[in-house]
Structure 1
């Protein structure tokens, strides 16, 4: 987490903190369209994602759609979650948010970039905001490892369906 100082117009110093971000990049041996199909098949997440299952159909990939689901494992056991889609640029970008600014709000983005060799680079990032975001700082390295694991699971699923 980085901090910069500035003034608020009254001459008083304030601290501006950047939101913590976790990013993992995974190369998938399949075209972007194949990766996109698996990424937005929300009702199929339980077949490949290590901790997330979602209760929505792919036709709900529109800004404003709410995607209910469950996180399992980890420190909190099973937890109900709802993600709201905030940006879609099919088949290249999907962004959803979940949580609350009263605690922690995560803005999760999936960016699919086609490569010249026909593969896809998946950049999976989450930016965190909210009153309790400082509690996440000590866990960022562990979270990066988890996001790499999620990318690897998506890679296996897509390549298994494409191959």
Structure 2
């Protein structure tokens, strides 16, 4: 029977949504600031595949090729990664940007995992949550240095 597990983090960023978007979509610069998604290559367009390198806390590196599900400029990015054929361990990753009246942005960064292997992946999922938080913090720092 398929299981589901969701990880969701939120960051209040002192930048406009278009500024956050510019950093999130500047894939060639990820190696300079992003401790979790350390490299992304490919075209950010619906139905395209990205080549993503993920570095877990502790240094374990994974590569995967998710399919882009949705791209809404300055609003959201969603992609779906799969381990093996669909239904074993699928992860729908998302970044949702919510512009605030004061010119800041609330980022919801999460992933919904589904599949029969979800119960066996608990330690990897705990690492993933730490990685999301580390990326959110690094994104906030990156945005603050770009204002100077």
What TM-score does the superposition give when structure 2 sets the normalisation length?
0.85
Describe the shift of the 1:107–1:113 C-alpha distance in structure 2 as closer, same or farther (beyond 3 A): same
Counterpart Cα distance in 2 of 1:55 and 1:94: 13
Counterpart Cα distance in 1 of 2:19 and 2:134: 19
Identify the match of residue 37 of structure 1 among 18, 22, 30. 22
Asked whether 1:117 is paired with 2:102, we answer yes
RMSD: 2.3
Question: Is 1:21–1:127's contact at 8 Å kept on the other side of the alignment?
Answer: yes
What TM-score does the superposition give when structure 1 sets the normalisation length?
0.78
Instruction: Please name the residue that 2:140 is paired with.
Output: 155
Counterpart Cα distance in 2 of 1:152 and 1:115: 19
Instruction: Please name the residue that 1:106 is paired with.
Output: 91
Counterpart Cα distance in 2 of 1:76 and 1:48: 16
Describe the shift of the 1:34–1:104 C-alpha distance in structure 2 as closer, same or farther (beyond 3 A): same
Instruction: Please name the residue that 1:62 is paired with.
Output: 45
Identify the match of residue 50 of structure 1 among 8, 14, 35. 35
- Cα offset for 1:139? 5.8
The higher-RCO structure (CA 8 Å, 6+ apart) is 2
Counterpart Cα distance in 1 of 2:39 and 2:88: 22
- Cα offset for 1:134? 1.1
Instruction: Please name the residue that 1:71 is paired with.
Output: 54
| Gap regions ≥5 residues in structure 2 | none
- Cα offset for 1:76? 7.7
Tell me the matched-pair count: 146
- Cα offset for 1:113? 0.4
Larger Rg computed on CA atoms: 1
Instruction: Please name the residue that 1:7 is paired with.
Output: none
